[in-house]
Chains A and B, each alone.
Chain A
Amino acid sequence: MRLLTHNMLSSNIKGVTNGYPLRLEAEKWSVKEVDLNRDFLTNIFPRIEWKPLVDAARSLGLSSLPDDADPSMLNSDDFLKGFHHALLEIHVEEGALICPETGRRFPINKGIPNMLLHEDEV
């Protein structure tokens, strides 16, 4: 699971109102190089919740992202590289996403987050 996915997911348990952002608990992760696509990054940037991305990246020891970001920064190659790296090149292999309201763990196993709810949660 890459951080882009983490940025998009929330806990949708019945009754939960603040299911976002999910807390990332990574046990094992790796870095895999991905070709940088400027168009893609520019298109996706406005859809990203910046703080959850920064927090998730920092929890994995990646501190290069600025606290705040705005679209004008996309013109900077350094920023773009850092954004690309955090968003697409870090793969969480094992761990969990934790619902901020209930503490429910959505396990990440072999890189696949399991977002399916139990019977008593739908």
Chain B
Amino acid sequence: MGHAINEKIVGLVTGGRLTGIPFEEETESRRIWGDSKHVNILEEVVAVMTKPVKTLGVFVRPEVEALAELFGAFGDTNDIKIRTLEWRLPEHHHIDSPFHFVNLPSEDVAKNIANRSILVKGIYELWGEGSNYEELKEAINNFPDERKTPYLASDSTFRIIVDSLGKVTSFHEQNERIRGLDYIAFKGRVDLRNPEHRFCLLETDDYNSNNGLPPVVQRRVFFGREVGGANRKLLPTYQLKSRTYLGPTAMDAEMALLMANQGMANPGKLVYDPFVGTGSILVAAAHFGAMTMGADIDIRVVRDGRGPDCNVWSNFKQYGLSMPISLLRADNNLPPWRPGLKEVFDAIICDPPYGVRAGGRKSGGRKILKGMVDPYTVPEDKRTDHIPSTAPYSLVECVHDLLDLAARMLVMNGRLVFFYPVLREDGCTDATFPEHPCFTLVASCEQILSFRYSRYLLTMVKTSAYSNEIAEVAKQMHLEFKMNHLKWLEDGNLHSAVFSLSDSQACLEGKLRLESSKPKYRGKYV
């Protein structure tokens, strides 16, 4: 697309399901609006019946920024501070609104982002917006003709989609709205199935009921031309319920694809998951064409699965994806990479075991690390089939090992994308995230999982090289963890904190009391 759009693009996004609720029960949709200087992403959440909605609205901007970088929106700059986009919210919209305006350098970039993004429903060139239809008409009429006429030509086909946020528009009303646009000189032919140009008329209403949507203060109407839209077949294809081999903590398909986008997985790149499990994250990375590698401490998971046609390999085969380059059994605490090997992975994407749903394990027996017994010397004749004992792996140590591994093994500007658990108190978090001299944190997105517990998807970029000094400090820390195994284990026991019964009962009662009196959105009172 040769011409750059420098006025407004509005994007409409519909149909995500970042909720943590089983797919069948989700009826969420999302919209995005943008302009070539400002792409506006509108994300809409249509009410989910009885269950609380935990949207991933906060994940939208980081995802768009990661993809913008992937598609070259920032040129060759290595300055991490420059690699962000300029965002603006539509007037009277809540920060979690599905509509955003954003600066993008070209229509091509906008199109690529929209086509690949998991959360963006669409990116649109905004022709006009207003508080009512009169204002909208004025805005559209003021939008430069040279920007409109190429898309209104008589030999083209088009379609207008009418959508609303927070309410249902009847078929009749939709037709009325379209007829109301007769001041735009559409000369082309209508084609509902396969139009060359798609236009979108979108309304957000001034509802004040607490229906799980981000609060909107005032009615707002947008009209725009679609620059790019989401691939709707993606999520149904990868949804977990049709996956052959699953484990108890397999990453939800939408989240896995989102993580792969945060990690900028692409053909020619190598992505590693040190806690591979059934491979759900690597499947997403492979979908975007990346080469993959995975390790796990549990050999039954990586090697055996549930049979010859139900294992990690078969999950890739099922979707016709390239097989992982390597799956191996290894301990993240004592990684088997050769000394001197560094800067091989373009991204490390993982969901470390934090002990809330599944506990992490590392080498060395429980009793050995407690100092109760000396290491068991395996008799020579039993070495071949010996199953080494493992010990629980505390959260702090696990994160320390992960950061150290990533700092060493990622290429410069490579990305570390992982989940980090956080306890919530009184419905709020006061999260501090792990830091490392090699990394710059570029995104932290909270996904609320329960009243007491949420997890942050952290995206870190390697901005400094791994030095001998850093390696030495990490080695000392490793020994310190080994010496004080018990202490770290007690400090980092997330499971008991999340599931402590008496506390959660009290919280629950308090929550119920508050809920009845105040409207609530995303765990915060509004």
Report whether A119 and B365 are in contact in the complex, using a CB–CB cutoff of 8 Å: yes
Cβ of A76 under 8 Å from chain B: no
Residues in chain A near residue B377, CB distance under 8 A: 120
Q: A4-B325, A115-B329, A119-B365 are in contact. Are A39 and B337 (CB under 8 A)?
A: no
Report whether A119 and B326 are in contact in the complex, using a CB–CB cutoff of 8 Å: no
Cβ of B205 under 8 Å from chain A: no
Q: A37-B268, A117-B388 are in contact. Are A122 and B325 (CB under 8 A)?
A: no
How many chain B residues sit at the interface, stated as a range, is 35 or more
Q: Min CB distance, B270 to chain A, in Å?
A: 7
Report whether A115 and B303 are in contact in the complex, using a CB–CB cutoff of 8 Å: no
Q: Min CB distance, A56 to chain B, in Å?
A: 13
Report whether A8 and B344 are in contact in the complex, using a CB–CB cutoff of 8 Å: yes
Interfacial residues of chain B within 326-353, with CB under 8 A of chain A in the complex? 326-331, 334-339, 341, 343-344, 346
Q: A47-B343, A122-B334 are in contact. Are A88 and B268 (CB under 8 A)?
A: no
Report whether A12 and B334 are in contact in the complex, using a CB–CB cutoff of 8 Å: yes
CB nearest neighbor in B for A109:
B303
Report whether A37 and B330 are in contact in the complex, using a CB–CB cutoff of 8 Å: no
Assembly CA distance A40 to B270 (angstroms) = 8
Q: A12-B335, A111-B327 are in contact. Are A34 and B322 (CB under 8 A)?
A: yes
Cβ of A107 under 8 Å from chain B: yes
Cβ of B363 under 8 Å from chain A: yes
Residues in chain A near residue B477, CB distance under 8 A: none
Interface string of B301-315 (1 = CB under 8 A from A): 011100000000000
Interfacial residues of chain A within 64-122, with CB under 8 A of chain B in the complex? 88, 105, 107, 109-120, 122
A122's partner among B268, B363, B384 (CB-CB below 8 A) is B363
Residues in chain B near residue A9, CB distance under 8 A: 328, 336-338
Interface string of B382-398 (1 = CB under 8 A from A): 01101011000000000
B325's partner among A2, A35, A109, A110 (CB-CB below 8 A) is A2
Assembly CA distance A29 to B339 (angstroms) = 27
Assembly CA distance A50 to B375 (angstroms) = 38
Q: A19-B338, A116-B297, A118-B386 are in contact. Are A39 and B325 (CB under 8 A)?
A: no
Cβ of B291 under 8 Å from chain A: yes
CB nearest neighbor in B for A106:
B336
Cβ of B180 under 8 Å from chain A: no
A112's partner among B302, B323, B334 (CB-CB below 8 A) is B302
Residues in chain A near residue B497, CB distance under 8 A: none
A118's partner among B293, B323, B388 (CB-CB below 8 A) is B388
Name, among B299, B326, B337, B386, the residue most crowded by chain A CB atoms within 10 Å (CB to CB): B326
Cβ of B368 under 8 Å from chain A: yes
Q: A114-B299, A116-B329 are in contact. Are A39 and B336 (CB under 8 A)?
A: no
Q: A44-B270, A47-B344, A119-B368 are in contact. Are A2 and B326 (CB under 8 A)?
A: yes
CB nearest neighbor in A for B382:
A118
Q: A9-B338, A12-B334, A47-B343 are in contact. Are A112 and B303 (CB under 8 A)?
A: yes
Report how many residues on chain A are interfacial, defined by Cβ distance under 8 Å. 39
Assembly CA distance A118 to B328 (angstroms) = 16
Report whether B328 and A5 are in contact in the complex, using a CB–CB cutoff of 8 Å: yes
Report whether A116 and B330 are in contact in the complex, using a CB–CB cutoff of 8 Å: yes
Residues in chain A near residue B299, CB distance under 8 A: 112, 114, 116
Assembly CA distance A39 to B266 (angstroms) = 11
Q: A107-B384, A115-B328, A115-B336 are in contact. Are A44 and B375 (CB under 8 A)?
A: no
CB nearest neighbor in B for A117:
B363
Interface string of A5-23 (1 = CB under 8 A from B): 1001111100000011100
Assembly CA distance A44 to B409 (angstroms) = 12
Cβ of A30 under 8 Å from chain B: no
Assembly CA distance A32 to B303 (angstroms) = 19
Q: A44-B344, A47-B343, A109-B303 are in contact. Are A114 and B329 (CB under 8 A)?
A: yes
Residues in chain B near residue A112, CB distance under 8 A: 299, 302-303, 327-329
Report whether B291 and A37 are in contact in the complex, using a CB–CB cutoff of 8 Å: yes
Cβ of B217 under 8 Å from chain A: no
CB nearest neighbor in B for A5:
B326
Residues in chain A near residue B343, CB distance under 8 A: 47
Residues in chain A near residue B376, CB distance under 8 A: 119-120
Interfacial residues of chain B within 377-423, with CB under 8 A of chain A in the complex? 377-378, 383-384, 386, 388-389, 411
Q: Min CB distance, B16 to chain A, in Å?
A: 31
Cβ of B267 under 8 Å from chain A: yes
Report whether B338 and A116 are in contact in the complex, using a CB–CB cutoff of 8 Å: no
Assembly CA distance A12 to B330 (angstroms) = 11
Assembly CA distance A113 to B334 (angstroms) = 15
Q: Min CB distance, A120 to chain B, in Å?
A: 5
Assembly CA distance A44 to B293 (angstroms) = 14
Q: A112-B302, A120-B376, A122-B364 are in contact. Are A20 and B339 (CB under 8 A)?
A: yes
Shortest beta-carbon contacts, A-B, top 4: A39-B268, A10-B338, A5-B326, A115-B336
Pairs A–B under 8 Å by Cβ, sample size 16: A9-B338, A12-B335, A21-B338, A38-B268, A43-B270, A44-B270, A109-B303, A112-B329, A115-B330, A116-B330, A116-B331, A118-B383, A118-B386, A119-B363, A119-B364, A122-B364
Chain A residues close to B by CB (< 8 Å): 1-2, 4-5, 8-12, 19-21, 32, 34-35, 37-40, 43-44, 47, 49, 88, 105, 107, 109-120, 122
8 additional contacts (CB under 8 A) given A11-B336, A34-B322, A112-B303: A1-B326, A5-B326, A20-B339, A37-B291, A40-B291, A117-B363, A117-B388, A118-B378
